[in-house]
Structures are given as C-alpha cells and as structure tokens.
Structure 1
Amino acid sequence: MTGAALLTAAAPARAAAADFPAGDEGYHTYAEVTAELQKAAANHPDLVALSSVGKSFEGRDLNVLKISDDVAADEGEPEVLFTCNQHAREHLTTEMCLHIVQRFTDGYATDPNVRAMVDGHVIWVIPNVNPDGSEYDISGTDYKYWRKNRKPVAGGDEIGADLNRNWGYKWGCCDGSSSRPASETYHGPAAFSEPETQAVSRFVDSRVVGGTQRIKAHIDFHTYSELVLWPFGHTKDDTGEGMTAEENARFRDVGQRMAGTNGYQAKQSSDLYVTDGDINDWMWGTHKILSYTFEMYPTGPFPGFYPPDEDIARETTRNDRAVDILVGEAR
C-alpha cells in the first residue's frame, strides 16, 4: 500500500498505560485502539486494510485504516482522511475516529447511505497521531494534562513539541506558535522535526498519484470548544496568497453546513486565534485538500479535556451528518 507499511502486530510500546483513570475505562488505550482496528480488518477483509504510516518517537505504529468497497484495488476514487489525537490529552478525538471506523464498516451492510459513501470513496482513518503523549497522559492514577509529543528537546530538559504547530506550511511565521521549548505551543526546532508529523505528511504526499492528490477532504479532530474551523490560521485575511475568494466561500459554505448539523460554531481558524504550522494550513496550502478542524465537546473548561466516558457515544454520533457532508465534498 503506497505510503504505508502493512501492520502485522501491535508495536512495542514504552510506558504503556494499563487503562484510563478510574471511571473513564470506556475510553480506549493505544493497545485497545490497535485491537479494535485489527478486529475491523478481520471482520471486514473486503472493506478494510490496516497498515502504518510510520512510527512515533517511542516506536509505536501510527495506525492507518483504509476503508473501501474493494480495499485491495486502486480504483482512483476520491479519498477522505480523518486524523485524531494530535494533542495527547484530547482522548475524545480518538473515540471519534474509532466511531467513524465502526460506522463505515459495521454499517456497510445495513445502511444504504454508508454503503454509497464507501462505494464511491476511499476513507482513511488515523486514530492516534500522538500515541506516546496520549499514553503518557494516562500513565498514572490521574490525568497529566499533557499536550505535546514525547521527543526530548535537544540541549535541555524539556520534552515534546506541539505537533499541530510543527507542519511545514508557514511554520513559525506569524506569532502563532512558540520558539520556547517549555511552551505548550512549542513548534519544534524546525518544520517537520517530529517523527509523527513527518510520517503523516509523507503518507499524504504519497497520495499524489499521476500528479493529482487523491485525498480531497480532511478533518482533524480536537477538543474542546465545539467549533468548525478552516484555513488559514496564520493570517487574519480571508483571501490572499493561496486562497481565492471562491475557495474561501467554499470553505465557509461547507463549514457552515457541517456546523448546522452538530450545533458547533463555524469560523475561519484565525478568527479564533492565529496559529502557524498547523495541519489545516499545510493540507490546503500544500495539497489543496479541503481541510477542517473540529473542536469537539464541551464548549468550555468543564469538563474540558476529560469528559466522562458516558459522553462518548453522544458526542461522536453528534458528528455523523457533518462527516457525511465532508465525504460528499470529496470529488
């Protein structure tokens, strides 16, 4: 499979978390996520192929699941990518990616809408972009509120870069990230300095086939604030270099339609605050992929990054219609 190595077993892991803190065991650890993906591949061999886009700093596979009506073939259909868990503490996003996997596999035989989407597209899902940080965040009896990855910063005692400030388009350009290693928005020593962003970007690059990018649409899930965000993050301008008025209007239209289904607020990313080196700017600025960030439940700091596991089903199914709209825009 182009850009991804076939995955035959769970990757060795350092400091693997046994489970989530008491009361939140309904969330999935990295090992449990991998087991769910393996089960999906085993239960739906004609629809699902499990592979890896690369390794995290600590050696965990960055699992990617391909869903297609003829998964072994390259049919040239438009492709959609869903990524989750760039930020370690945002565990609800991993559950969102797992829900997408479950819906587009288990639902294929019984849901005509799901069948039509799978028959007409290739769907890629990467549930854990930052598995090292996620495992570290739950490695004790209480959450650590950890955001970054776990790669040590050269020449100091700090650990980790903010993966969603490490992407190569307009990296570090516009006061939308930090050059201080202690900062939660530390962008790393260079664009794509982190193995996780290197691996995912190589995978996206690999989907350029015959000079055409096959991935047409993308959502990167985060928590929290209940927002639908689109590029650019690095500038307050709606249009300009890399964004025409027509392109901006399409981003706005699709974003508002998706937000109309889940009750989120839709806006350009920089209307929230300026970011640089983020995944949406890179996806659009480099590949012209229709790329959004969803900031999931809740709207505010309670329960913040750690909603109880009882909320998982409600808050993942809440995005079903929005996901459908995005898939429909992949053409």
Structure 2
Amino acid sequence: MRTRTMLAAVPLAALLLAHLPAGAAADPADGPGQYLVTGPDTAEERTEVARTGAAVDEVGDGSVVVTASQEQAEEIGDLGHTVTALPGPEDRGGAGVRDFPPEDSDYHSFAELDEVVDATVADHPDLAAKEVVGTSHEGRELIAVKITSDVGTDHDRPEVLFTHSQHAREHLTVEMAVYLLRTLTEDYGGDPEVTELVDTREIWILPNVNPDGSEYDIADGSYKSWRKNTQPNEGTSAIGTDLNRNWAYEWGCCGGSSGDPADITYRGPAAESAPEVKQVADFVRSRVVDGEQQITAAIDFHTYGELVLWPYGHTYDDTAPGMTRDDYEAHAALGTMMADSNGYTPQQSSDLYITDGSINDWLWGDQGIFSFTFEMFPSGGGGGGFYPGDEIIPEETSRNREAVLTLLDYADCPYRAIGKEAEYCEAPAA
C-alpha cells in the first residue's frame, strides 16, 4: 500500500462543546485531531494503535493516520511510534449555518438529499419507490429507495443493498447514493445493461443511515470530523456511537472497537443499541421470505482510501466459522473484479486492522449476504481526506459505475465468480 500524506480533521467547534466526550479538554483546540503515526507496518501493529480508541483513517507503508484525542496520541507514542500532529481543514463557516461551506455546495445536506429522493420517485414512479425504515435518534427519517421495474410488485428477484454514510464525516458516500439513484432510473430504457439489471434485480439504496451525524458535522458551515451518531450515552457526557462497530455479529469480540463512550470508535453499550443500526438491521431481516434472505449482495460505502474490502474484519484468518474457503474465494474474486474496474485496492478487511461489530461481518456472518466495503476517493489525505472539494463528485462517483453493475450482475449467484454456480446456485436435476 502507498504511504500517504493526510489533511487533518477539525476539532469540535466551540459552539457545540456540550457534545465533547467526557474528559475532553474544554478548549476545542485541544479536542480530537488527526495525527501521522510513523512506525506501524503490520496489521497487528495497526490493530494495537486502533485499540487505544483512535480511529485509523489511512494506512500507508510503515505509517497510519489516526483521529485521536491528545491522550490517545500520547498512548500511541508510548507504543514506540512517532506521532506528529497534522493541520486541520479551514473553518469556512458562519454562525447559524447548517450547510456545507459555499465552495462545497454541490454536496447534499439531508434536506437536499430528501428532495433528490422525492424527485426521483416522482419522475420514475414505475421504477422507484421510497420507504421509511425507521428514524434516527433525533427523529430524521431513515430512507430506503427501492429500484426495479414494476416497483410496486414484490418480485422474486435477487436483491442488492447499498448503504451510505454510516460515518458522518464521509459525505462523498451520500453523493454516491445520489449517483446511483439517477443512473439506475435515468439510464433505464437507454442503456441496455442498466435496463436488464433493473428488470431482473430489486435494488435497495439507503442513502444516509446516519443523518444526525451528517448534519452535526456541517453545523455552522464548518467541518468537525464527526464520525458517530449523536445519541447520548447514559451516565456520561460523551455523545455518540460508532455505527459501524454496533452490529450484532461478533460485537465487541476481538479488540476491534472501543468500550469507552468518549472514543471515536465506541461500540455502544450493546449490539444494535444505536437506533439507526437496529432499524436498518430490522429492515434487512424483513427481507427474509419463507426462511430465505432475498438480499444476496451488498456494498457499504465509506471514505477514504480507494479500497474494496470483504469479510471478515474480526479475525485475520481467511476462513472462520461461517466463512468457508469457497465463501472466501468468491468474495475475493468478486471484490477483485470490482476493483479492476475502479482502480481500488482489493483485500480482506482485517488486512488493514481488526474491527468488530461491522456491517460487513454482520451481513455475511448473520444473514449470508455477500458484502463489501468500498472506501472511496481519495487514496490519501493529499486528495482532501474526508473533505475533498465538490468538483470531484462527478468523476469519483461515476468511477464506481462498472463495479456496481458487476455486483448487480453477479447477485443471482456470487459463486459464479469462481465458476461454482452449479454447486451452489442451480437446482439439482429431478
């Protein structure tokens, strides 16, 4: 993997000090920031760094970039690594604003995203339908858009799930959802590949599963590098749970998340304790019909790093309970195929470092859904880190077009990627 230079995250704004974790400095200048950590060169060493409660934002050759408190940065230094504070993105906002800075206005706030969804459904009523699968802690709708021909019918078609913005600061993932909404409806009837796939698949797009966190991250027109949701944690002033450590498969099992509510990778007091995770998980479980999960494949979009990742994240082993050699090889083959189309690096999630309670481990381990994480643009902080300018949106969302269409194509039988469709997907002869 490449060594990268990273733009730093902004500490929490003074106006929102009530959201600072317990034990954090009152001065926002002393709040969480980003650090270049020179030294970690293996997955095991990177896992040690993550177990301080810091979030690993970027992995390079012999280095990582983390979002961490000052205390965590010192703890990482005590592991024998060199820790260097990085500058943060410019505060470009004004009081009272709840939107992106003007130069990034092509990004969609939650209200603007809702308008896109409503317009898509209104313009393509035979192809797209909006469902509300729950509400966030603050009461915002958790939206799912179903796309398929004759959308009002529950067809017996392979279903594919796309989830976006589990982590609040990863706004480019919402733009990926907007791109998919438009591509799969506007190109229908004109693009033969899109048309065939929409005719033969049921596609679910959840364009923002952490709307509270996303809105909080841009409150006052400045970026805060907020990752979690915004629910309070009982008995502490710390706010928020890391949604992608809160899923109910090997939750908290393996040192791949934090039990401290103040930490950016806090897994919550119990699996599915975050309302957003619980309700999205309930939606996925609702797609089980006659004992069979209808969703066969999924992508969870994140930023950044330009990676295609597959399970498991909670163990370094390729195979483990619930993951046979054929399961692993099919994930790897399909992941590599998608990476060949978008130029990302394909690898097992734990090749980076151990995580537990992630959506991808849950989707596969609990539901049997072939699942992938896409870490989108940029490859490193030099491209803007979590906050690339809005001019990159068209290129970096369309870059994933062929990868998404590939997943949709193989959704009828992901084992086709290793030539074992007869073994796994075809009914035996009478």
Q: Secondary structure at the match of 2:302?
A: strand
| Superposition deviation, residue 19 in structure 1 | 2.2
Matched, 1:328 2:409: yes
* AA partner of residue 330 (structure 1): A
- CA deviations 1:164-215 (Å, max 9, x no partner) are 0000000000000000111111000000001000010000000000111000
**Residues 4-43 of structure 1: pairs in structure 2 closer than 5 A:** 18-43=98-123
Of the three residues 308, 311, 319, the one matched with 1:231 is: 311
For residues 71 and 257 of structure 1, the distance between their equivalents in structure 2, rounded to whole angstroms, comes to: 29
Aligned residue for 1:317? 398
Partner residue in 2 for 1:82:
162
Q: Deviations over 1:131-171 (max 9, x none)?
A: 00000000113101100000011101100000000000000
Shift of 1:271: 0.4
State the Cα RMSD in Å. 1.1
CA distance in 1, matches of 2:105, 2:374: 24
Q: Select the structure of larger CA radius of gyration.
A: 2
Aligned-partner Cα distance in 1 for 2:379–2:226: 20
Aligned length: 317
Give the share of equivalent positions with the same residue, in percent: 55
- Residue number in structure 2 paired with 1:146: 226
Deviations 1:281-303 (A, max 9, x none): 00000111000000000111231
Is contact 1:17–1:29 with CA below 8 Å preserved after alignment? no
**For residue 196 of structure 1, what is the amino acid of its counterpart?**
E
Q: Is 1:119 matched with 2:189?
A: no
CA contact (8 A) 1:64 1:127 kept: yes
Question: Any idea what SS the aligned residue of 1:20 has?
Answer: coil
Return the TM-score normalized by structure 2.
Answer: 0.73
Give runs of aligned pairs for residues 185-224 of structure 1, distance below 5 A.
Answer: 185-224=265-304
Paired residues of 2:124 and 2:185 also in contact (CA < 8 A): yes
Tell me if 1:73 matches 2:153: yes
Query: Structure 1: how far apart are the matches of 2:309 and 2:132?
Result: 27
- The alpha-carbon deviation at position 232 of structure 1 amounts to 0.2
Mapping for residues 158-173 of structure 1, pairs under 5 Å: 158-173=238-253
Contact 1:69 1:119 in 2 (8 A): yes
Return closer, same or farther for 1:17/1:40 CA change in 2, 3 Å cut-off: farther
- In 2, the alpha carbon distance for the partners of 1:149 and 1:237 equals 31
Partner Cα distance (1:270, 1:67) in 2: 32
| Unmatched runs of 5 consecutive residues or more in structure 2 | 1-95, 413-430
Corresponding residue for 1:306? Answer: 387
Q: In the TM superposition, what whole-angstrom CA distance separates every residue of 1:63-111 from its partner, at most 9, and x where no partner exists?
A: 1100010101111100000000000000000000110110001110211
Q: Which structure 2 residues correspond to residues 81-100 of structure 1 after superposition, within 5 A?
A: 81-100=161-180
Structure 2 contact 255–356 (Cα < 8 Å) conserved: yes
AA aligned opposite 1:259: A
Equivalent position to 2:133, from 50, 53, 56: 53
Partner secondary structure for residue 103 of structure 2: coil
Equivalent-residue separation in structure 1 for 2:348 and 2:335 (angstroms): 9
Q: 1:121, 1:324 → 2: CA distance?
A: 11
Q: Work out whether residues 236 and 271 of structure 1, in 8 Å CA contact, stay in contact via their aligned partners in 2.
A: yes
Asked whether the 8 Å contact 2:99–2:220 carries over to 1, the reply is no
Instruction: State the Cα deviation string for residues 7-44 of structure 1 (Å, max 9, x = none).
Output: xxxxxxxxx96421120000000000000000000001
- Normalized against structure 1, the TM-score is what? 0.94
Which amino acid letter does the alignment assign opposite residue 115 of structure 1? T
Choose the corresponding residue for 2:188, options 101, 104, 108: 108
